[in-house]
Structures are given as C-alpha cells and as structure tokens.
Amino acid sequence: MYLKQSKLGIPARFLFVSDRCKGANVSYWLTNAIRIEFPESWHRFCMYHVFNNIRAKKIAVNDLDKTTIYGVADARSKDAFKSSMLTLKANLPRAYQYLVDIQPGSEGWVQ
C-alpha cells in the first residue's frame, strides 16, 4: 500500500472509510498507514461491511438486532456509545465482542 500525501494530493484532514479488508493483517497495516501518513485524518469502518462481517461469523441477527448494531455506529457521544454497546452486549454478546475487537475502539465509532 502506498499512501503518501504528496503523491495522492489528499488533504491532511480527510475521512477514510474502509471495509476492514480481507484478513486482520491487511486491516492492521491499512489503519496504521493512515494513522502515520495522515495523522490529522479520520479512519472509520463502513457499517454495511461490518454488519455483513458479523453475519459471516454465523451470528444470527434479526431486524431488531440490526437496529441495535447500527445504534452503536450512530452514537453521537461516548455515553451514547457505551449505552449502545451495553445493550448489544446483553442481546448479542458475539456481535458485541466482534465490535470490541475492531480497532481503534470507540474512537473509530464516536464522532
């Protein structure tokens, strides 16, 4: 991966959205490359892909569960994020753990 600000013409404060890529190592390296090359930017994960990854882990979810999972991404404060995560933990512990394992943690979700 070649992320260089001067080569791509990307401004210093930019929002990167990724799908968590294939494999933990790729996601780790992409996240770190963005953090190093664009320290003032934000990196977030696409909730559509995160949700599909939860399903791919054979975690059964219904429409109410989907609303709960998306509620985590919609949190507008750290308190709202914590509350959404506690609700998720109570109802879907495996989905909760999947989200907990996503780095950089709440900083990757809360605006």
Report the pLDDT value the prediction gives residue 1, as an integer from 0 to 100.
46
104 preceded by a cis bond (ω within 30 of 0): yes
88 is written with which tokens?
Answer: 């998720």
pLDDT, tens digit (0-9, with 9 covering 90-100), for 75-108? 888 898 899 999 999 999 999 998 888 765 556 6
Helix (H, G, I), strand (E, B), or coil: what is residue 18?
A: strand
Domain ranges of the chain: 1-45, 47-103
Measured in residues, the chain has a length of 111
What pTM does this model have?
0.68
Q: Is the pLDDT of residue 4 over 90?
A: no
Stronger pLDDT, 69 or 105, i.e. the higher one: 69
Report the pLDDT value the prediction gives residue 93, as an integer from 0 to 100.
94
106 class by beta-carbon count within 10 Å (0-12 exposed, 13-18 middle, 19+ buried): middle
85 contact partners, CB below 8 Å, separation of at least 6:
72, 96, 99, 100
pLDDT, tens digit (0-9, with 9 covering 90-100), for 41-68? 777 778 888 888 888 888 888 888 899 9
Buried-exposed string 26-45: b where 16+ CB fall within 10 A, e elsewhere: ebeebbebbeebbeebebbb
R_g over Cα of the chain: 15
